[in-house]
Structure 1
Amino acid sequence: MKPDEQADQDASTGRVDLQREGPTATVVLNRPERRNALDAAMWGSLAEHFRSLAAADDSLRCVVLSGAGGSFSPGADIGEFETHRSDAASARDYGAVMDRTYDAIRGCPVPVIAAINGPCTGAGLVLALLCDIRIATSGSVFGAPVSRLGLAMPYPEYAVLWQSAGPAKTLELLFEARVISAAEAAAIGLVNRVVADDALDACLRESVDRIIAGAPLVHRWHKAFSRRMSAGGDWPADEVAASYDSFATDDYREGYRAFLEKRRPAFKGR
């Protein structure tokens, strides 16, 4: 392979960066020349990073998922479809890789914020919806126009969209293949907050600061409660009893004492 051909190949290959700053980790989809469309290697890296965060020390309190170059992600790289998803069997294999990534994001025990700018469509929308909080710029756009590609959204991804938007809006988005504005996405519950294009970083910082000021064990419990609620079914007596375990922590005692003493609590995560 000629050097210039190697350079072209390297330039077209995306990566996922992981940065850690104190109690906060940032995961960045980094393929700006393709607006952060995810290739097969990126799906694997994204899963690996989130698995490492799930196993991180207890000082981790918040994770931010964002995209480089002013875009979040339009989803999976369509340029790989002919080689990686050329038929049902290969699509199932590729889908299994994506599903492992989705599971890794779900398994992150601390709050995850999606910082959304630009396109957030297809599998990129699914990634954002798996985050706990979604903050989008007013110029962001959302959708799942998979029918224009002649493909159905598989159950694992469909379930994520259905749970967020509900059956009627999910079918509307899929049937009409519309790409909607951030304002409309907020109106149907796909994003939590819409901010001016130049205010994303500041709003994100405020959200992170509020999260890390809270009791970290409580955030982990609330995430676990949310997953349990999504699973449905009755709550056994032992699960109900365990939901009161926070009252046995040092952070609980610190929290109410700080309130009574009119000071800011210093939570230790124990």
Structure 2
Amino acid sequence: MAGTVRVETPEPGIARVVFDHPERLNALSNAMWDALREIIAALDADETLRCVILTGAGERAFGVGADISEFEQNRGDVERARAYAARTHGALAALQSCRHPVIAAIRGLCVGGGLELACCADLRICGEGARFGIPVKRLGLVVALDEMRPLVELVGPANALQIVLEGEIFPAGEALRMGLVNRVVPDAELAEAALASARRIAEGAPLVARWHKRFVRRLLDPRPLTEAERDESFACFGTEDYRIGYRAFLAKETPVFVGR
């Protein structure tokens, strides 16, 4: 079986994207990489969406990235490796640029390209039994610059080098210490913990969530801020959601945001 990437809607405004290839630890085939890019692009364009959960099917793995059975086809030489990178980097870039907040719900193995995908999410929640690593030193290949950047931004250069140089598979507690994950929960509670986080995000003003995502990413860029970028901090005060929010607060009511 080639595996699929499927979308579920557990609640209005929340989408769950599932890597469904459990017999191969949710390794992503070429078709799955392409499907992931297309799915994320479609979700990004959905104005009714408030949050995306990214997870793997089954109990054994979030994902292990590339399917090694396709290595000869995809990475048999430099030119094939470049072409394959264009495919995988397109999916990673789609995740990073998604307007909506993305939560990675991680159970079991999260290694190689699976960890790279998780690093492209905004929040990472894992089960106690989750295990992490990028053991590419055993394969004689590198983590490309575009794949390494999210990891370095997330855990810093020292931890990133530990992950790729030692090539060890490490437990959830170590991932939490590094800042690789935001929280660790019992394995049986992972799905509900991720959904609860998505609900909290979905309750907020969606434009604010999108702005905050962009602001954090921009602040990782060392270039000086422009006056236009600073001025964007005040754009929220011209939105309908701002009026809804502060009026609901004064009235001690729950706001219902409309995304404009």
Instruction: Select the residue among 2, 11, 17 that pairs with 2:6.
Output: 17
Moved more, 26-35 or 259-268: 259-268
Say whether 1:64 aligns with 2:64.
no
Q: Please report how far the alpha carbon of residue 233 of structure 1 lies from its aligned counterpart in structure 2 after TM superposition.
A: 0.8
1:133 is the counterpart of 2:119: no
Runs (4+) off by over 6 Å: none
Q: Is structure 2 residue 169 aligned with structure 1 residue 207?
A: no
Deviation per residue, 1:131-156 (Å, 9 max, x gap)? 00101000000011100111111111
Matches within 5 A, 1:46-65: 46-56=36-46, 58-65=47-54
Q: In the aligned structure 2, how far is the partner of 1:227 from the partner of 1:162?
A: 13
Mapping 1:117-128, distance limit 5 Å: 117-128=107-118
Larger Rg: 1
CA drift at 1:227: 2.3
How many angstroms does 1:15 deviate by?
0.9
Matched, 1:93 2:83: yes
2:163 aligned residue: 173
Instruction: State whether structure 2 residue 109 is matched by structure 1 residue 106.
Output: no
One-letter code aligned to 1:244: F
1:103-158 deviation digits (Å, cap 9, x = unpaired): 11112101001010001011100100100010100000001110011111111111
For 1:231, what is the secondary structure of its paired residue? coil
Aligned residue for 2:256, secondary structure, equals: coil
What letter corresponds to residue 87 of structure 2 in structure 1? V
Query: How many pairs align?
Result: 258
Name which of structure 1's ranges 220-229 and 112-121 shifts more when overlaid on structure 2: 220-229
Deviation at 1:265, TM superposition (A): 1.4
Deviations 1:39-61 (A, max 9, x none): 111110000100111112x2110
Structure 1, residues 207-249: CA drift from partner, whole Å, max 9, x if none? Answer: 1111111111100111111222233311111111122100111
After TM superposition, the score normalised by the length of structure 2 is 0.96
Q: 1:53 & 1:214 partners in 2: Cα distance?
A: 18
Deviation track 1:14-63 (CA, whole Å, cap 9, x = no partner) reads: 1100223421111110001001011111110000100111112x211011
Q: Which amino acid aligns with 2:222?
A: G
- Structure 2 distance, partners of 1:263, 1:55, is 30
Which sections of structure 2, spanning at least 5 residues, go unmatched? none
Given candidates 241, 245, 254, the residue that maps to 1:251 is 241
Report the AA paired with residue 27 of structure 1: V
Cα offset for 1:169? 1.0
> What SS is found at the alignment partner of 1:262?
coil
> Larger deviation: 256-265 or 69-78?
256-265
Secondary structure, counterpart of 1:120 in structure 2: strand
AA matched with 2:48: S
* TM-score, normalised with respect to structure 1: 0.93
**1:229 correspondence with 2:229:** no
- Show structure 1 runs of 5+ residues with no match: 1-10
Calculate the aligned-residue CA RMSD, in Å: 1.1
Separation (CA, whole Å) in 1 of partners of 2:82 and 2:204: 41
Q: Secondary structure at the match of 2:159?
A: helix
Match of residue 6 from structure 1: none
Paired residue secondary structure (1:203): helix
**Which of 33, 40, 61 is the aligned partner of 1:43?**
33
Q: Distance in 2 between matches of 1:43 and 1:53?
A: 15
Shift of 1:252: 1.0
Q: 1:76 aligns with which of 26, 47, 66?
A: 66
